[in-house]
Amino acid sequence: MRHHLLRWFAVSLLAFAGAARPAAARPAPNPVTGAIGDLGRIATSPSRMDNSDAYQLAAIMGAGVLLYSLDGNIRSEVLRNHTSTLDHLSDKVQNLGNGGVDIALTGAGWLAGEAFSDEKLSRTSLLAAESFLAANGVGSVAKIAIGRSRPYTGDGKGTFHPFTLKSSRMSFPSGHTTSAFSVASVYAYCYSDSPAVVFSAYGLAGLVALQRVYANKHWTSDVFFGSVLGTAVGRMVAAKGMEKPGATALLPVISPGYSGAEARFYF
C-alpha cells in the first residue's frame, strides 16, 4: 500500500511540473510557486483586515474557545462509544486525510481533465494541490510553534510544549483535517453549481475530522481549527485561480483584487 501511494505521489508531482507550462489560452496554475505566493499573502493579510473580518474572527475564536472548554468531555464521550464497526470504518476514513493520498487524488483529477479535455477539472485539481501545500505550510508552522500534546499522551488538553518536533506534541491544528478541507473546499468552490460535488467534498472532509477525534489523535478544537484553516486557504486559492470575485472564507486570509461587499475573512 505504501509503495502504491509513493508511486501515485511521484506521478502527481511530475504531472504538476508539466502543468506549470503556460497553456495557449490561459496559464495553468503552478501549485508550488502558487503556494509560495499564497504564504506571502497570508503572512501580510492581518494589516488589511477590516471590521467585517474582525467580527468574523471574533466569532470563530469564540467557537474555538467553547470547543476547547469541552475537549475533555467530548473525548471521554467518544471513547465510551467505540465499536468494532466504527473502528474498521475509522481505519478506512483516515486515508482520506493522508497527504500522499490527497496529492495523488488531485494529480489523478488533473490527468483526467487533460485526458478528457476538461479544462475546468484540470485547473481545479491544480488549485487543490496549491491549496494543500499552502494550508499545510501554515499548519505545520503552527503545530511546531504551539506544541500541543495529543490526547493519547494523557497529558491533558492544556499541555503545550512549543517548538518541538515530536509528533505527540504536534496536535494543533489537525494536519489530516487541514489537508482534507484544503482540497475539498477548492472542488466545492469551483463546482458550487453542483450540490452533489459540494456535499461529497465537504462530507468526506468532515468524516476525516470526526475520525481524528474518534481515533484519539486530536482534540475537537484541533480539528475545528484545522477545518477552518483548510477551508479559508482553499477558498482564497480557488477564488484567485478561477478569477471569481468575492469568496467568503473563515479566516483572515486576504487575496489581492477583492472588493467591498462580500464578507471576506482571512488568515
Range of the domain at 104: 36-241
Read off the pLDDT of residues 213-225 as tens digits, 9 standing for 90 and up.
999 999 999 999 9
Whether 11 is covered by a domain: the verdict is: no
Whether 258 is covered by a domain: the verdict is: no
Whether 166 is covered by a domain: the verdict is: yes
Number of domains forming the structure of the chain: 1
Whether 255 is covered by a domain: the verdict is: no
Are the beta carbons of 16 and 32 closer than 8 angstroms? Answer: yes
Mean pLDDT of the chain: 83
Read off the pLDDT of residues 86-114 as tens digits, 9 standing for 90 and up.
998 998 888 888 888 999 999 999 999 99
The proportion of the chain whose per-residue pLDDT surpasses 70, expressed as a percent, equals 81
79 Rama class: left (phi>0) / alpha (psi -120 to 50) / beta: alpha
User: Any idea what the CATH number is for the domain that residue 92 is in?
Assistant: 1.20.144
Whether 127 is covered by a domain: the verdict is: yes
Q: What are phi and psi of 21, to 5 degrees?
A: -70, 135
Q: Is 244 in a helix, a strand, or coil? A: coil
The proportion of the chain whose per-residue pLDDT surpasses 90, expressed as a percent, equals 62
Whether 29 is covered by a domain: the verdict is: no
C-alpha cell at 160: 503545550
Are the beta carbons of 238 and 190 closer than 8 angstroms? Answer: yes
pTM: 0.80
pLDDT for residue 170: 95
Whether 211 is covered by a domain: the verdict is: yes
138 closest CA partner among 16, 17, 237: 237
Whether 121 is covered by a domain: the verdict is: yes
